[in-house]
Structure 1
Amino acid sequence: MTKQNQVQLLLVDDDLTYCSVLKSALEKRGFSVSVAHDVKNGLALAEQIEPEYAVIDLRIGHESGLELVQKLISLDDNTQIVMLTGFASIATAVEAIKLGAKHYLTKPANPNEIMNALHNNAADSSVAISENPLSVKRLEWEHLQKVLMEHDGNISAAARALNMHRRTLQRKLDKRPVKE
C-alpha cells in the first residue's frame, strides 16, 4: 500500500519518546502517521492531511488537548479521535466525549488498546461498576478538574472560585491523580 493510499492518522503529544514508539507501532499497522508536539502544529497538520483518525494527549505541555479535539471535529466531524491522558478524571473524560472524542484511554496505553479504541465505536454495557467509593484524595482531584473545566482551563479563575491560591492549585494539578 502506498503512502497516499494509507489511512491518515494525526498523533499529538508532547512526549517525544512516546510519540516515536507509538508512531512506529501504528505505521506497522498500516497508518500513515503525522506527529505534532503542540496544539498549533497539530491543527496545521490536520488542515493539511485531513486525518481520518487522531490520537490526542489531554495535556500537551501547558495546553489542553480538549481544544484540539474541538477544532478537529469542527474541521471534519467524521474524524475518529482517541484522547490519551496520564491525568485521567471524570470531568475531562466527559468533556472529551462531549467535544467529539470517541474514546478516552489512560497512559500508558499500548498500541493494541489504541487500535481497539480507534476501530470500536460501540458502547460496552458490560463495563464493571466499582464496589468501592472514591477516596477523599481522588474526590478532591475530580472536583479540581471539574472547577477547572468550568473556568475553561483558566487556573487563576479556578483558584479564585475554589478560594485557593493559584500556586497551590497548580501544585495539586501537577501531581498525578490517585487511582481510587
Structure 2
Amino acid sequence: MKGLLVDDDALYLRTLQRALQRRGLDCATASEIEGALALARRERPAFALLDLKLGAESGLSLIEPLRAIDPRMRILLVTGYASIATAVEAIKRGADDYLPKPVTADALLRALRGEPATPAPGGAGMIPLRRLQWEHIQQALHETGGNVSAAARLLGMHRRSLQRKLAKRPGPERGGGEA
C-alpha cells in the first residue's frame, strides 16, 4: 500500500517512514503543501497522514485538494495540539480520522484499517506519559528556537524544572510500538 506522509518535522517524518516501511508500506514524504500535492498527483497514494501544523500553514488546507485527487484516499490528520475544534473541522473537511501526535506506526495501521487508533485500556501500545511529555517539551523548544527560558515560560514552568526534565530523556518504551 502506498502512502503520503506530510510533516514539517524531518526527524519524525523519517522515523515514521522507516517504521511503516518495515511493516510493508511504501510512503513518500513531504514537508510542505505544494510538495505534498505534487507527490499525491504523481504517486496516487492510498492514504495520507497530515500534520495539522506545517510551519505557517495548516494541514487542514490539504484535505480537500487530496480528496479531489482521489476520493477513496484515507486521510488522517495528526497533531500535537489536539482540540475538539480542530477535530470537528478536520472531519467536516473530509478527514477520515484525527490522531494525537506522536502517532505510532501500529496506531496508524489500526486507523488505516478503520479500527480504534488506541487499543482498549490496559493494552500495550499506549504511549507512556513520559514520552508524551518529552514530545511536548521538544515542540516548545522548537517553537522558541531552542531557548530553554522561553520554552519554560511557554510551558508554564520554571526554567530549572525544564532543565531537569531535559536531562532525563526518556528511553525506548518496553514493549511499546516504535514511531
Find 1:9's aligned residue among 3, 15, 29.
3
Q: Percent identical across equivalent pairs?
A: 43
The answer to whether 1:108 aligns with 2:138 is no
Tell me, what secondary structure is at the counterpart of 1:116? helix
- Runs (4+) of structure 1 moved beyond 2 Å? none
Give 1:56-67 correspondences, 5 Å limit. 56-67=50-61
Contact 1:102-1:121 within 8 A present in 2 as well = no
- CA shift for structure 1 position 19: 0.3
Contact 1:13-1:38 within 8 A present in 2 as well = yes
The 1:96–1:32 alpha-carbon spacing in structure 2 relative to 1, beyond 3 Å, is same
Task: Give the Cα separation in 1 of the matches to 2:97 and 2:81.
Answer: 15
The 1:80–1:121 alpha-carbon spacing in structure 2 relative to 1, beyond 3 Å, is farther
TM-score calculated relative to the size of structure 2: 0.63
- CA shift for structure 1 position 121: 6.2
Deviations 1:20-46 (CA, angstroms, capped at 9, x unpaired)? 100001111111110000011001100
Tell me, what secondary structure is at the counterpart of 2:48? strand
Q: Which amino acid aligns with 1:46?
A: A
Count of matched residue pairs: 122
Gaps spanning 5+ residues in structure 2: where? 122-153, 156-179
Deviations 1:30-63 (CA, angstroms, capped at 9, x unpaired)? 1111000001100110000011111100111110
Aligned to 2:15: 21
Deviations 1:58-96 (CA, angstroms, capped at 9, x unpaired)? 111110101111110111110001110011111110111
Aligned to 1:75: 69
Task: Give the Cα separation in 1 of the matches to 2:85 and 2:67.
Answer: 19
RMSD: 2.2
Task: Give the Cα separation in 2 of the matches to 1:53 and 1:24.
Answer: 16
Gaps spanning 5+ residues in structure 1: where? 1-6, 128-174
Tell me, what secondary structure is at the counterpart of 2:81? coil
Task: Give the Cα separation in 1 of the matches to 2:92 and 2:15.
Answer: 29
Tell me, what secondary structure is at the counterpart of 1:101? coil
Tell me, what secondary structure is at the counterpart of 1:30? coil
Task: Give the Cα separation in 2 of the matches to 1:101 and 1:20.
Answer: 23
Aligned to 1:92: 86
